[in-house]
Chain A
Amino acid sequence: MNLSILTLLLTPFVGGILAYLGGLIHRSVRFAFAFLFSLLTIVLVAGYYGSKIDSLIYGRLFGSLLVLQMNSLSWLLAIVISTIFLMSTLFSIPEMEETPHVNAYYFELFFLEGTMLGVVLAGDLLTFFVFWEMMSWVSYFLVIKGTKESSQAGYKYIIMSLVGADAALIGLTLVYLKTQSFVFVNISSMLSSQSPAFIISVFALFAINFLIKAAIMPLHTWLPDAYSEAPSPVSSILSGVLEKIGVYGLFFFVFVIFGMNLFKGIIPNVFGDSLIFVVLQWMAGLSILFGTFLAILQEDAKRILAYSTIAQVGYIVLGLSLNSTLGVAGGLLQLVNHAIFKSLLFFVVGGIIYRTGTKNLSELGGLIKKMPVSFISMLLGIIALAGIPPLNGFAPKWMIYQALIQKKSVLLLTIALIGGTGSFLYVYRLIHSIFLGTLPEKYDNVKEVPLLMQIPMIFLALLTIIFGLFPGIPLTAIAKVQEFIGMTPIRFTLTGFPQGSALSTLNIVKISGTLVGAFAFAFLLFVSLPKTRRVSQYDNYAAGQVVTKYTKYNYSFGFYSFFRDIMNPIFKLSADEIYTEFTKFMRVLGDHIRRVYTGGLETYVSYIVVIMAVIFAFVVLGGRIW
């Protein structure tokens, strides 16, 4: 019996407890523990590189085995989780220093990591669900540690999570009642004898849960608030990895637990694809489109990133739901790379908030002169996010586009490409309003963020470059995942795609090499010409008038207001009203639930018990409705 999975799983929990206890002694002890255990987790995860499926049966409940398993898909998620967590831990050290309950924060942070690892390592439904629930709650507690509005945002978040969790719980109960087992490997074969309606219902129940976590379009309402109000390191975790857990769950269930064979025959094919996939593709397409368009209209740095998360996760789902070698590989690559650059961007914005105290874009500007490292990090981050070569956002998008072309899904291709164009708009808005433009006078004494905050930024920025130039590095692991789920693995080279792997070939290093050459030429030409003279930002064209520090000479509020004008009629027709109706509904729902709950943990536990009892009674009494 190999206990290493358990060791790996327990490491973050132990780290959390030690960090908590260490924090009672001295903060440096807390830091030391936090850092060491995050690093240890990575090392332990990395130790699994290349190994085959490894599983551990650690108990038995309700007559079913409880299993932990490590496979290449889990490994991919686990390495992303542990990496982002290490960065986040480092970033938290200065960021959270002054906040109350900092010990509890680390405790929760590590618990979140532990539960996430638990989710990806779970080998049975019960383990999966327990960790999933813990994950939701711990992340809720982390979210409400942010700004004043965060408790409201967290409330919205947890309500949505509960809705999803309830659905999953019902699904789990149903499955258990039919199969008497929680173990993943059994489910597929046992379900195959069930009626199609049952399978579809169970899948839908689980899918709702995952789609809420992944914030796919109609179920995204919790996301912008929660992401923007949470503390920045938490935001980056939420966006970087927590959302991927939702995507992971979805596709783990589709590809592995249920398996494509189960759906065959019971789900009709549309446009040559299983209906499930078509629905998912279009939901992803909607997410891309509306996530992008809504991100363009935001006035708050973190909200831009939050909405862009919806859009970018849309690409992941789109890629994965294409169910082709290229698409799945592209989706998984996007999953890895999105974690990198989105966390990076949240870190940079977190640093800005740390130094200036605001995330309101109209109050920022001109910080490039004060915070060059942050600027470069954000520049790399936005280039990656926008998918511009040669950084790491390019390859996955290119793969997804190619997969779409292979499928001849031209409309989705258009949506995806427009989403790409739209992303230029909001990323430019982000970097412009924060770093470019006029520096407001009040930020004259702003300094670069502390070194501990710079390290995660620099590390992730380097990763965007490395993974961008050499997409082959992450693709190696992804090809293994594809093997694991029984798909033809992607063919690739270190720097791109050879003949035959896609409709066309790609060599990112050659592209970037040429770019560097062209840049070198242009730069040499530039410096060989007469020298430039630095002028003050107030020495500026103002139609002949003089600009002073009292002039409000910074265009940042309503940056794309004309876009708002264009979109207004469309939003009025569709998303806006649905959205407001939906939030209204959620608020009403929340109000009802608030009467029952005060928000305490014990009430929630009793709630779960009640719900379970109800479902149990329902299933036992009228269980033959299926």
Chain B
Amino acid sequence: MVEKILLAVLVPLFAFLVGIFLEGFKRKMVARIQRRYGPPLIQPLLDIIKLLSKKDNISHGLMFDLGPVIALSGSILTVFFIPTPGFKLLSASGDLVALLYIMVIGSLGMALGAGESGNPNASIGIARALTLMLGYDLPFVIALSTVILKFDTTNLYEIVAAQSDLYWGAFLMPITAVVAFIATYGAMGEHPFEVVVAPQEVATGPMVEYGGKHLGFLMIDHAFHIYIELALFTDLFLGGASNLGYFFLKIFGLHILLTFFDTVYPRFRIENAVRFFWRWPTVFALIGLLIVMIGG
């Protein structure tokens, strides 16, 4: 029992620390690409502390307050379902399909909270976020179907176990892995898919009225989000890992790759982003699916 409680604390903590480190590292790396020195690695943590300790917080209503809370709790819940080496807490309670829906809980909370702010910028941001979600979900779902078909199970732990000894998903179905990577990238909302926040268009979109501890919560949630997306990809296509160190390294490598794209691409228009996802990634996802269907 004690062990379980300890794990229940440790898993989210690990996820948070990874997320926050990657965020900090990203800022540093982007700064270096931009020929700057960049903020210290712990800057995201400082930002969160600053935001959480704001003396004054505004609220537009109960849902406005609960939005970030639900977002964070949804993310924490998701973390428990993602196979992390060494932790096996809720493996029997849900699977990949359930995970897809569990991941939405946080977004829904965030959407509800942002909606209550009564700011059209926030509403547009949410509308964009949901539309974008529909965009990247199509290739992503096809990719997931391919994975499920390939390993013939929806249990995440079994999927990870099936990829041992370098039988990685990425090697078995490279096309699908690339598609899933692009979709994961879209889900993380970095450039060029940064249509949701888009400060220049909708003034940070859903976060427009959020400040203080609300924004702090959202930033914590963002750290989790980075971890979730990348860890899921790692589990599905990079064979998970045998220990936390390898797991972290894989996530770290993915994140560096993402940051490169983030730095050199401007933003899509939302329609174009969705059209992009529905064009080549979807076609390639279907090709990947076909290969697996034929090749078994």
Contacts and interface: CB of A to CB of B under 8 A. Distances in A.
A438 B53 CA distance: 29
Contacts of B142: 410, 414
Nearest to B293: A410
Contact of A424 (B59, B133, B213, B289): B133
Interface residues of A, number: 75
B77 A504 contact: no
Interface residues of B, number: 84
A275 interface: no
Given A533-B58, A543-B203, A562-B271, A515 B154 contact: no
A513 to B, nearest CB: 9
A437 B58 contact: no
A600 to B, nearest CB: 47
A420 interface: yes
A394 B51 CA distance: 36
A436 B118 contact: yes
B73 to A, nearest CB: 4
B76 A522 contact: yes
Interface string B90-125: 101111111011101101100110011111110110
B104 A529 contact: no
A517 B8 contact: yes
A405 B72 CA distance: 31
Interface stretch (A112-120, A206-214, A383-391, A586-594): A383-391
Given A432-B115, A540-B119, A504 B131 contact: no
Interface stretch (B17-25, B63-71, B253-261): B63-71
Contacts of A394: 98, 101
Given A522-B69, A522-B72, A424 B108 contact: yes
Residue with the greatest number of chain B CB neighbours at <10 A, chosen from A365, A410, A531, A542: A410
* Chain B contact residues, majority secondary structure: helix
Interface string A491-525: 00000100000011111001100110111011100
B117 A540 contact: yes
A185 to B, nearest CB: 39
B146 interface: yes
A529 B213 CA distance: 7
Interface stretch (A136-144, A218-226, A233-241, A553-561): A553-561
B59 A532 contact: yes
A233 to B, nearest CB: 27
Contacts of A387: 101
B121 to A, nearest CB: 7
Given A410-B149, A414-B142, A541 B203 contact: yes
B50 interface: no
B182 interface: no
B112 A431 contact: yes
A535 to B, nearest CB: 5
Interface of B: 8, 12, 52-63, 65, 68-70, 72-74, 76-77, 80, 90, 92-98, 100-102, 104-105, 107-108, 111-112, 115-121, 123-124, 126-128, 130-131, 133-134, 137-138, 141-142, 144-146, 148-149, 152-155, 203, 208-209, 212-213, 216-217, 270-271, 274-275, 278, 289, 293
Given A386-B108, A394-B98, A559-B127, 20 more contacts: A413-B148, A424-B107, A432-B115, A436-B63, A436-B118, A496-B93, A503-B155, A522-B70, A522-B217, A529-B53, A530-B53, A532-B57, A534-B59, A537-B60, A540-B60, A540-B209, A541-B203, A553-B118, A556-B123, A566-B275
